[in-house]
Amino acid sequence: MMKANLLHGRRSRVRNNKKKKKKDKQFNNEDDDRISELPEDIMVRIVSLLPLKEAAATSILSKRWRNIWTFTTNLDFHDEQTVNYLFNLPREDYHTLINHARLKYIDGVNRVITKLSSKTNNTLVGGLINRFRINFDLCRSFSYSIDNWIEFAMKNRVQVLELLFYRYGGLARMPDSLYTLGKNHFDPKTLKSLRVLNLASVDISGEVLEWLLSNCPLLERLQVAGSDGNLVNLRILGVPLKHLEIRGCCIRKLEILDAQNLVSLHIQTTYCFRTFVLKNVPKLVDLFFDINFSLDGEHLGRNFSLLSSCLSQLQILHLDLSIYKHLRNVVYPVLSNLKQLKLIFGATKNLTSLLSVIISFLNASPRLQRLELMMLSQKYYDQMRRFKIEPTNCPLKEVEILGYSGSPTHDQLIMYLAENLVALQKIIVHPSEFDINQVFKLNKDDKTIREEEKVRDHAMQHIKQEIPTTIEFVCL
């Protein structure tokens, strides 16, 4: 009798398990059906939020998903893994492998575009591409393929067009090897949708840029980096731009007039300027200014006079002071609304003169909240001489120092700021050296890692113990 009951119980459990598995399977199938039954426009939105490789991988989900990825509006051809691997190679190995990597990259882009171009009627998204991004070390030798990519993007009314042809992680490339972008690449009718244009290591003239600006009524952001060829003169007049960035270019003459919507301006040039005009930019609040007329520090004052029409409205100011041999006789203007100040210093100044510059800016910025100091070199020629301690009422709350070396000069700088900034709440230091022109993060060798760890230990054991407890100290 007991044996019969055990057998009956076992059979009951088996039947219940089968029913449960059947129910779970039915439930899972219903979930699968729900995903597959989504409206097509929702499915396209989903794949458009994914990186391109992951979007293509959705083709294996079901028959209905097989071609959905080909309607993605986000075509970002950035192979991060390959790029990081190449840019961290020794330079000789990089030059050995780069040509093969270029051909492989180009083939991959071509295959995707061929697949997408085979659709004769893109009914899901109306032929609209939100973003088209090329990010690889490419040059003029591959113009044929690049031309075809641009043509495809423009025909599909691209909104964000990015051509980033960085070489070995930066902008360095001979002008005669730059890919050239001209008017022939664009039809004015297809420019009506363009909102962002981002170019790196692309040769484009001022004339072509001005023509593009006049034919792109929706263009809000323009970035041009490393165009060290024909971009010499540029005049921007009454355009809807909100953000303009020009860096690493050989531009000599720049005029920006009646840019009523301009919010941020980043100007960083490689040659001495001849002419700079900035007028009627009522919304400009964020400025990175690194242009010079000579290496004489007195010309920093001249640069301030060129910016006189907008200085009082600036909230963020970034200045590269590393180009000046000395900074004497500079009249610092009142920056009445400035909240963030970023300064780059080179190795030619001793700490006394460095502090003199910093204090002058603090006294001219009655609303300053944050100060960022970037040290391009971790070595200074001498330590701080006797410097008069004058507590300031500047409401500065946070200081960040990049390129901190743990040297006596850097330590004295930190202590001076901690003891004399009465409103200071936080100090952040970065032991790592940095390059403002380096685009990709490079791997560090064991020696560099050990040196940085030693600097961190020094900062936490010595500096943190000395600063007032009311100030938070962070070493990254």
Three-state SS at 466? helix
Band (125; pLDDT cuts 50, 70, 90): very low
**Which stretches of 165-302 are assigned E, i.e. beta strand?**
179-180, 196-200, 202-203, 221-225, 233-237, 243-249, 253-257, 264-269, 275-279, 286-290
Band (352; pLDDT cuts 50, 70, 90): confident
Reported pTM = 0.81
**77 close to 53: Cβ distance less than 8 angstroms:** no
Confidence (pLDDT) at 122: 46
Q: Of the segments 88-97, 269-278, 304-313, 363-372, which one has the largest average pLDDT value? A: 363-372
Band (80; pLDDT cuts 50, 70, 90): confident
The closest alpha carbon to 439, from 52, 173, 250, belongs to 173
pLDDT at position 31 over 90 = no
The angle subtended at Cα 375 by Cα 371 and Cα 378, nearest 5°, is: 140
Least confident among 68-72, 107-111, 196-200, 333-337: 68-72
The angle subtended at Cα 434 by Cα 414 and Cα 340, nearest 5°, is: 55
**pLDDT tens digits, one per residue of 140-164:** 899 999 999 999 999 989 999 999 9
pLDDT at position 68 over 60 = yes
Q: Report the C-alpha gap between 297 and 357 in whole angstroms.
A: 11
pLDDT at position 113 over 70 = yes
Residue 187: other Cβ atoms inside 10 A: 12
Give CA separation, 91 vs 107, 164, 177, 329, in Å: 24, 20, 18, 44
Handedness of CA 179, 181, 187, 190 (dihedral sign): positive
Confidence (pLDDT) at 180: 92
The angle subtended at Cα 201 by Cα 402 and Cα 163, nearest 5°, is: 100
pLDDT > 90: what percent of the chain? 28
Confidence (pLDDT) at 13: 54
Q: Quick one: average pLDDT of 111-127?
A: 63
Confidence (pLDDT) at 293: 55
Q: Quick one: average pLDDT of 361-384?
A: 76
**pLDDT tens digits, one per residue of 82-95:** 877 887 777 788 88
The closest alpha carbon to 69, from 42, 48, 96, belongs to 48
pLDDT at position 445 over 90 = no
**314 close to 343: Cβ distance less than 8 angstroms:** no
Confidence (pLDDT) at 390: 59
